[in-house]
Structure 1
Amino acid sequence: MTQEKPENEKPLNDGPVTGSVSETADASSTGDSHAAQNQKPQTPRRKRRPLLWLVVFVLVVCLGAGTWAWRDARNFLDTPPQEPGKSLIVDIEPGMTLAQVAAMLEKEGVITDAWRFQMLVRYKEKSRNIQAGRFLVSTGWLPETVLDMLVSGKAMLYRLTIREGLAWWDVAELVEEGGFCRAADFTSVIHDPEFLRHWGIPFDSAEGFLYPETYLLPRPRELNRDAAKAVANRLVEMFWRRADKLWPNGKRPSTEELKRLVTLASIVEKETSVPEERARVAGVYANRLEKNMLLQADPTVIYGLGRDFEGPLLRSQLDNANNRYNTYQNPGLPPGPICSFGASALRAAISPEKHDYLYFVATGRDRGHTFSKNLNDHNRAVRDYRAALRENRK
Structure 2
Amino acid sequence: MYIKKILLIIVLLGLIAGGAFAYLIYNALFSPNTAFNNKEAYIFIPTGSSYDDFTNLVAPLLSDMETFEAVAKRKKYIDNIKPGKYLLKKGMNNNEIVNTLRSKNIPVNVSYNTQETMEKLAGRVSSQIEADSISLLKAFTDPEFLQENGFTGDTGLSMFIPNSYEFFWNTSATGFRDRMRKEYLRFWNDDRLKNAEVLDLTQIQVISLASIVQKETAKVNERPRVAGLYLNRLKKNMLLQADPTVIYALKRELGNFDTVIKRVLYKDLELNSPYNTYKYAGIPPGPITMPDISAIDAVLKPEKHDYYYMVANVEDFGYHKFATNLAQHNRNKVQYIRWINEQNINR
State if a TM-score over 0.5 links the two structures: yes
Describe the shift of the 1:212–1:144 C-alpha distance in structure 2 as closer, same or farther (beyond 3 A).
Answer: same
Q: Does 1:368 align with 2:323?
A: no
Provide, for residues 102-122 of structure 1, a one-character-per-residue CA deviation record: whole Å limited to 9, x for no partner: 867776674524353254479
Name the residue aligned to 1:349: 299
Gapped regions of structure 2 (runs ≥ 5): 1-13
CA change 1:81–1:332 in 2 (3 A) is: same
Classify the secondary structure of the residue corresponding to 1:134.
strand
- In structure 2, the residue corresponding to 1:207 is in which secondary structure? helix
Evaluate the alpha carbon distance shift between residue 246 and residue 103 of structure 1 in structure 2; reply closer, same or farther with a 3 A threshold. Answer: farther
Deviation at 1:382, TM superposition (A): 1.0
Query: CA contact under 8 A between 1:361 and 1:369: conserved in structure 2?
Result: yes
- Do 1:244 and 1:252's aligned partners in 2 also have CA atoms closer than 8 Å? no
Letter in 2 for 1:319: E
Deviation at 1:333, TM superposition (A): 0.8
Cα gap change, 1:368 to 1:117, in 2 (>3 Å): same
CA deviation after TM superposition for structure 1 residue 152, in Å: 2.9
Deviation at 1:345, TM superposition (A): 0.9
User: Displacement of 1:163 after TM fit?
Assistant: 3.1
Taking a change above 3 Å as real, the CA distance of residues 65 and 286 of structure 1, as seen in their structure-2 partners, is farther
Q: 1:228: how far off?
A: 4.5
What SS class does the counterpart of residue 331 from structure 1 fall into?
A: coil
Q: How far apart, CA to CA, are the structure 2 residues paired with 1:260 and 1:309? A: 26
Q: Structure 1 stretches of 5 or more lacking a match? A: 1-61, 221-225
- AA in 1 matched with 2:92: W
TM-superposed deviation, 1:325: 0.8
Note the aligned Cα RMSD (angstroms).
4.5
Q: Who is 1:319 aligned against?
A: 270
Against the structure 1 CA distance between its residues 313 and 218, is the aligned structure 2 distance closer, same or farther, given a 3 Å change threshold?
Answer: farther
Change (3 A) 1:109 1:377: closer
- Residue in structure 2 matched with residue 20 of structure 1 by the alignment: none
Highest RCO, 1 vs 2 (Cα 8 Å, sep ≥ 6): 2
Paired amino acid for 2:151: P
C-alpha separation in 2, matches of 1:209 and 1:174? 16
User: Is the 8 Å Cα contact of residues 244 and 250 (structure 1) preserved in structure 2?
Assistant: no
1:369-388 aligned within 5 A: 369-388=320-339
* Counterpart residue number, 2:94: 143
Q: CA deviation at 1:319?
A: 0.8
* 2:211 paired residue number: 266
The residue type equivalent to 1:287 in the other structure is N
Q: Deviations over 1:258-289 (max 9, x none)?
A: 12111111111111112222112111111221
Provide closer, same or farther for how the CA distance between residues 218 and 153 of structure 1 changes in structure 2, counting only shifts above 3 A.
Answer: closer
Using a 3 Å threshold, how does the CA distance of structure 1 residues 188 and 291 change in structure 2: closer, same or farther?
same
CA drift of 1:388 comes to 4.1
Distance 2:174 2:184 in 1: 15
- The residue that corresponds to 1:59 in the other structure is none
Is 1:187 equivalent to 2:137 in the alignment? yes
User: Scaled by the length of structure 1, what TM-score is found?
Assistant: 0.64
**C-alpha distance in 2, partners of 1:339/1:239?**
16
TM-score when normalising by structure 2: 0.71
In the other structure, the counterpart of 1:92 is 45
Matched residue SS, 2:43? strand
**% identical aligned pairs:** 30
Q: Does 1:202 align with 2:154?
A: no
Q: Are 1:329 and 2:279 matched, yes or no? A: yes
Q: Distance in 2 between matches of 1:390 and 1:320?
A: 23
1:79 counterpart residue number:
31
Displacement of 1:313 after TM fit?
A: 2.4
In 2, are the aligned partners of 1:160 and 1:215 still within 8 Å (CA)?
yes
Distance 1:133-1:369 versus aligned 2 partners, 3 A rule: same
Partner of 1:114: 69
Show CA shifts across 1:354-385 (max 9, x none): 22221111112221111212111111121122
Cα distance in 2 for residues equivalent to 1:314 and 1:387: 15
Which residue of 2 is the match for residue 42 of structure 1?
A: none
Per the alignment, residue 9 of structure 2 pairs with none
Matches of 1:117 and 1:331, distance apart in 2: 66
CA shift, 1:335, in A, is 0.6
Number of residue-to-residue matches in the alignment:
318
Q: Which SS does the other structure have where 1:90 is aligned?
A: strand
Mapped contact 2:71–2:95 kept (Cα < 8 A): no
Matched position secondary structure for 1:387: helix
Contact 2:43 2:58 in 1 (8 A): no
Report the Cα offset of residue 77 of structure 1: 1.1
Q: 1:368 to 1:247 in 2, by over 3 A?
A: same
Partner in structure 2 of residue 295 of structure 1: 240
Asked if the contact 2:311–2:332 (Cα under 8 Å) also holds between the matched residues in 1, the reply is yes
- Pair 1:279-2:229 in alignment: no
Larger Rg: 1
Q: Provide closer, same or farther for how the CA distance between residues 104 and 308 of structure 1 changes in structure 2, counting only shifts above 3 A.
A: closer
CA contact (8 A) 2:46 2:130 kept: no
Tell me the secondary structure at the aligned position of residue 159 of structure 2. Answer: coil
